[in-house]
Amino acid sequence: MDRASVVMPVFNGERFISDALRSVFSQTHPAFEVIVVDDGSTDRTRQALEPFADRVRYFYQPNRGAAQARNRGLDAAQGEWIAFLDADDVWYPEKLAVQFDYLREHPEVRFLYSDLAVCDDNGTVLQTDALRTQWEAERATRNLNLNLISLAFNGQPFPHPSTVLIKKDVLIQAGGFNPAFRRNYHEDFEAFAKAAHISTPHFMPRTLIKYRRPSRRPLADQNFLLLLRGLYELWRDDPVKQNVVRQSLACHYAKRGQGYLCSRSYGQARECLALALSYNPSDRHARRRRLVSHLPLVRDFYAFWQVRVRGKVFAPPSEFS
């Protein structure tokens, strides 16, 4: 049946949530229900929802992150399909209709997503077909056999949450969203990668949403590590994919170790560089930096040279915790 439960997590979304909800209620294929999960907003989000009170199911929870907010909506959903919409994004009126038309023609599909347009805070479109455009650039410049997005989603672009229409039972079987992702970054990658492991994702190269790209990116170092560990476990029976994750883990710890070294946190630098070498013993740069971390005069000169002379900027240790 063509019944989509719209799940909308929101945290301090008073500025844009009305536009997001109006785009849902303007769909040419009506949504079955709209579930808003307020993740501990401290602004006037609840007041912004008052004009829609009779058309949304509202849930409030203390601030726990987007993963737990989406899980709350998923648990409450009564439709067979789940359509996510972030509170600062907007659907085009035909979004659900186009996707359900595709599903009627391809009844085997249980995981579908579309392209998107990037817009500014005023809703002015800055770029259309953004996922496809970025992906074509990636294909032209990088080896996609070493790209985590390509490996997770069968050589297709990343499924931004607001573009996704997915069977509820697929997400349930995948385990939903990992609540360990407290900061709102990468939790969707892991959840959709698990879903793609169960049911092949299908990308529609048609722009059906407007996405407001945040002006500030969240600190995502710890979440990226959670993602890599999750993918490593997900692909435990695929040594080729696991090897790509190992290389990503090695690069992650090597970069973290260099950051600690340049901030003169030498004990932490040695720990991270040792981990980098455990995943990639042939990394001569990590091996050399680990040696440098043991040599008092050399390591001080290295930090001075990298930061003061070369002008490199590294995240402070507090951002690695």
Q: Span 278-297, mean pLDDT?
A: 93
Could you tell me where the beta strands, DSSP code E, fall in 19-140?
33-39, 57-61, 81-84, 90-91, 111-119, 125-127
Euclidean distance between CA atoms 128 and 134, whole angstroms: 11
How many residues are present in the chain? 321
Short-list 40, 39, 42, CA closest to 67 = 39
**Could you read off the pLDDT of 83-110 as tens digits, one per residue?**
999 999 999 999 999 999 999 999 999 9
**Could you read off the pLDDT of 114-136 as tens digits, one per residue?**
999 999 999 999 999 999 999 99
Report residue 239 CA to chain centroid gap: 24
Does the pLDDT value for residue 181 go beyond 90? Answer: no
Average pLDDT, rounded, for the chain: 92
pLDDT band at 316 (very low <50, low <70, confident <90, very high): very low
- Please report the DSSP string for 107-150 in residue order: TT--EEEEEEEEE-TT--EEESSHHHHHHHHHHHHS-GGG-HHH
**Could you read off the pLDDT of 199-214 as tens digits, one per residue?**
999 999 999 999 998 7
- Where is pLDDT greater, at 307 or 286? 286
Domain boundaries, the chain: 4-212, 235-320
| Lowest pLDDT segment from 107-116, 152-161, 220-229, 295-304 | 220-229
Does the pLDDT value for residue 320 go beyond 50? Answer: no
**Could you read off the pLDDT of 147-163 as tens digits, one per residue?**
899 999 999 999 999 99
**Could you read off the pLDDT of 6-36 as tens digits, one per residue?**
999 999 999 999 999 999 999 999 999 999 9
**Could you read off the pLDDT of 35-75 as tens digits, one per residue?**
999 999 999 999 999 999 999 999 999 999 999 999 999 99
Tokens matching residue 297:
């005069």
pLDDT of res. 216: 55
* Fold adopted by 4-212: Spore Coat Polysaccharide Biosynthesis Protein SpsA; Chain A (3.90.550)
Give the up-direction half-sphere exposure of residue 100: CA atoms within 13 A in the CB hemisphere.
18
- Please check whether residue 79 is in contact with residue 3, taking contact to mean a CB–CB distance below 8 angstroms: yes
pLDDT band at 318 (very low <50, low <70, confident <90, very high): very low
Does the pLDDT value for residue 290 go beyond 90? Answer: yes
pLDDT of res. 38: 98
pLDDT of res. 218: 53
